[in-house]
């Protein structure tokens, strides 16, 4: 509650003493967590999730097999006669792709409408199917008997993918416009990413970097990948509209972006202090997914509803996490109003309103109006149930009307 009684200098000192977490690195109550493990299985890896919340992955209780988790029910997946199967991705209508082994040969598979289609381009010695779009176009990689190549499978036909002059390549992502992203090695031995669209290739390598991959492309044409900069630091990147944005959470030694949603949120994993952690990057901020009982966590998939899937290595269990809505501050009321920042909420609040936030999102510079009295309350989970006494404000304080007495902020 903001009321009378504390000098601006004293209040600023109180605010600075509460700076315990950097405003661009957020943890804990920003997400929920549920284990994904088919009944009777000893281990699992949740690898893909569509916008309906259907999850695919693999694991087993002996031989490695695939699973589909949909509407609370698990279904085991294994192409007839195969000795192993690894489901990787699922599209909006429930078609699944992956790879496995049959008669000692690695092949891709497409599972649709209860039937399996084996995927192996003619003359190739092996292949993996990696991604599928909503029109059943499949991309992947393998060997044509000479070198590694990418492929597109569409309407029953295969197209080999390799940028001109490159020695090896693979295809990792395809969007609903049929634009493909992948990576490989050029004629000078440099690893690069590429985009393939309408018969033409665009090479991807952030300025000053010595290597790059490309793992995923969303429906806006935004691409993510990872590589090494000129100093040898392992970083990720986003490529959009011809520009690159580098990715590396503060304090991390490396990062692997795996997917990017249509809203531009990037999910992946990396290493901090020898521990593997998952992350989601949104508009300049990193949400870190880990906890003391689940160290070494990777994130492999994200959908457009802010649900992510991956693996907790220490427990050998897949998981699904639902992230809090991407509007972390609200004005409480019978019809709550949601905002991106505390300042937005404060500016729209009326005298006597209660402003609530997830975790410690009260971050950044705050301009207070001395004619307005509101309650600031932090420490809430995704549905705004209180999860702790965590009301804090990070950043600078600015006072309107030129007065030096501003009042108390009570943290309950």
372 assigned to some structural domain: yes
Looking at residues 366-379, what average pLDDT do you find? 73
Last residue of a domain, one of 304, 322, 340: 322
Q: Is the pLDDT score of 389 beyond 70?
A: no
Looking at residues 378-394, what average pLDDT do you find? 56
Q: Write out the two tokens for 28.
A: 């804990």
Asked if 318 and 339 sit in the same domain, the reply is no
Asked if 31 and 171 sit in the same domain, the reply is yes
* Residue 11 and residue 406 in contact, taking contact as beta carbons nearer than 8 Å: yes
pLDDT score of 26: 42
237 assigned to some structural domain: yes
Q: Is the pLDDT score of 390 beyond 80?
A: no
User: What mean pLDDT value characterizes the chain?
Assistant: 85
Higher pLDDT, 198 or 10: 198
262 assigned to some structural domain: yes
Residue pLDDT, tens place only, 94-139: 999 999 999 999 999 999 999 999 999 999 999 999 999 999 999 9
412 assigned to some structural domain: no
Q: Is the pLDDT score of 370 beyond 90?
A: no
Asked if 222 and 160 sit in the same domain, the reply is yes
pLDDT range class, residue 202, cuts 50, 70, 90: very high
Residue pLDDT, tens place only, 244-259: 999 999 999 999 999 9
94 assigned to some structural domain: yes
CA atoms within 13 A on the CB side of 64: 14
Q: Is the pLDDT score of 209 beyond 80?
A: yes
Asked if 167 and 193 sit in the same domain, the reply is yes
Q: Is the pLDDT score of 411 beyond 60?
A: no
Asked if 192 and 60 sit in the same domain, the reply is yes
The radius of gyration of the chain's CA atoms, rounded to the nearest angstrom, is: 24
Higher pLDDT, 75 or 410: 75
Q: State the pTM of this model.
A: 0.79
* Residue 249 and residue 255 in contact, taking contact as beta carbons nearer than 8 Å: yes
Looking at residues 389-393, what average pLDDT do you find? 43
Q: Is the pLDDT score of 21 beyond 70?
A: no
Percent of the chain beyond pLDDT 70? 80
DSSP-derived letter for residue 14 is H
DSSP-derived letter for residue 175 is -
Q: Is the pLDDT score of 269 beyond 60?
A: yes
Residue pLDDT, tens place only, 129-157: 999 999 999 999 999 999 999 999 999 99
408 assigned to some structural domain: no
Main-chain phi, psi angles of 343, to 5 degrees? -60, -45
pLDDT range class, residue 381, cuts 50, 70, 90: low
Higher pLDDT, 370 or 372: 372
Asked if 246 and 297 sit in the same domain, the reply is yes
215 assigned to some structural domain: yes
Last residue of a domain, one of 298, 322, 346: 322
The domain of 374 spans: 8-23+327-402
Asked if 222 and 363 sit in the same domain, the reply is no
Q: Which class for 108: exposed (0-12), middle (13-18), buried (19 or more C-beta within 10 A)? A: buried
Q: Write out the two tokens for 329.
A: 């501050």
Q: Which of 285, 293, 237, 216 has its CA nearest to residue 48?
A: 216
Q: Is the pLDDT score of 31 beyond 70?
A: yes
CATH number at residue 281: 2.130.10.10
Asked if 19 and 34 sit in the same domain, the reply is no
pLDDT score of 323: 84
Asked if 390 and 301 sit in the same domain, the reply is no
Cβ contacts of 40 within 8 Å, gap of 6 or more: 61
Higher pLDDT, 339 or 133: 133
Higher pLDDT, 326 or 241: 241
Look at the chain and report how many structural domains it folds into: 2
Asked if 307 and 354 sit in the same domain, the reply is no
Residue 214: strand, helix, or coil: coil
407 assigned to some structural domain: no
pLDDT score of 346: 85
Q: Write out the two tokens for 326.
A: 């991407």
Q: Write out the two tokens for 404.
A: 């030096």
Cβ contacts of 260 within 8 Å, gap of 6 or more: 216, 217, 218, 222, 223, 224, 238, 266, 267, 302
Q: Is the pLDDT score of 4 beyond 50?
A: no
Higher pLDDT, 103 or 353: 103
Asked if 82 and 59 sit in the same domain, the reply is yes
Asked if 123 and 206 sit in the same domain, the reply is yes
Last residue of a domain, one of 278, 299, 322: 322
Task: Please name the helix (run of DSSP H) or strand (run of DSSP E) that holds residue 343, with its range, or none.
Answer: helix 342-348
The C-alpha angle with vertex 286 and arms to 262 and 301, in degrees rounded to 5, equals: 45
Cα dist from 355 to 238, 344, 349, 361, 385, whole Å: 34, 11, 8, 11, 14
Q: CB atoms < 10 A from the CB of 124, how many?
A: 19
* Residue 31 and residue 287 in contact, taking contact as beta carbons nearer than 8 Å: yes
Residue pLDDT, tens place only, 309-326: 999 998 999 999 988 766
């Amino acid at each position: 509650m903001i009321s009378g009684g504390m000098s601006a200098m004293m209040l600023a000192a109180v605010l600075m003493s509460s700076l315990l977490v950097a405003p661009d690195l957020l943890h804990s109550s920003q997400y929920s967590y549920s284990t994904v493990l088919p009944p009777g299985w000893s281990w699992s890896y949740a690898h893909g999730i569509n916008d309906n919340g259907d999850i695919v992955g693999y694991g087993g209780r002996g031989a490695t097999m695939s699973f589909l988790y949909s509407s609370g029910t698990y279904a085991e997946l294994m192409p007839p006669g195969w000795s192993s199967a690894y489901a990787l991705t699922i599209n909006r209508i429930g078609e699944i792709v992956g790879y496995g082994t049959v008669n000692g040969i690695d092949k891709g598979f497409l599972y649709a409408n209860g039937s399996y289609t084996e995927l192996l381009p003619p003359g190739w010695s092996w292949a993996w199917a990696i991604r599928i779009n909503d029109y059943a176009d499949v991309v992947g990689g393998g060997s044509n008997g000479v070198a590694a190549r990418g492929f597109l499978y569409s309407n029953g036909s295969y197209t080999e993918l390799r940028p001109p002059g490159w020695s090896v390549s693979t295809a990792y992502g395809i969007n609903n416009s049929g634009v493909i992203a992948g990576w490989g090695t050029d004629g000078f031995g440099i690893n690069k990413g590429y985009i393939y669209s309408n018969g033409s290739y665009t090479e991807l390598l952030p300025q000053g970097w010595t290597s790059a991959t490309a793992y995923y492309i969303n429906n806006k044409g935004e691409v993510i990948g990872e590589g090494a900069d000129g100093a040898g630091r392992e970083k990720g990147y986003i490529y959009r509209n011809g520009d690159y944005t580098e990715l590396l959470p503060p304090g991390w030694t490396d990062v692997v972006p795996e997917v990017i949603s249509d809203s531009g949120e990037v999910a992946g994993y990396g290493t901090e202090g020898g521990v593997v952690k998952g992350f989601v990057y949104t508009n300049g901020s990193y949400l870190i997914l880990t906890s003391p009982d689940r160290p070494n966590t990777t994130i492999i998939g994200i959908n457009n509803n802010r649900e992510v899937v991956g693996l907790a290595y220490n427990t050998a269990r897949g998981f699904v996490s639902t992230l809090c809505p991407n509007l972390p501050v609200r004005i409480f009321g019978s019809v709550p109003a949601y905002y991106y920042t505390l300042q937005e909420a404060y500016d729209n609040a009326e005298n006597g309103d209660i402003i609530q936030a997830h975790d410690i999102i009260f971050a950044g510079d705050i301009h207070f109006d001395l004619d307005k009295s509101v309650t600031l309350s932090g420490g809430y989970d995704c549905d705004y149930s209180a999860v702790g006494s965590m009301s804090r404000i990070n950043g600078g304080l600015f006072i309107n009307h030129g007065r030096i007495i501003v009042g108390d902020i009570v943290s309950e």
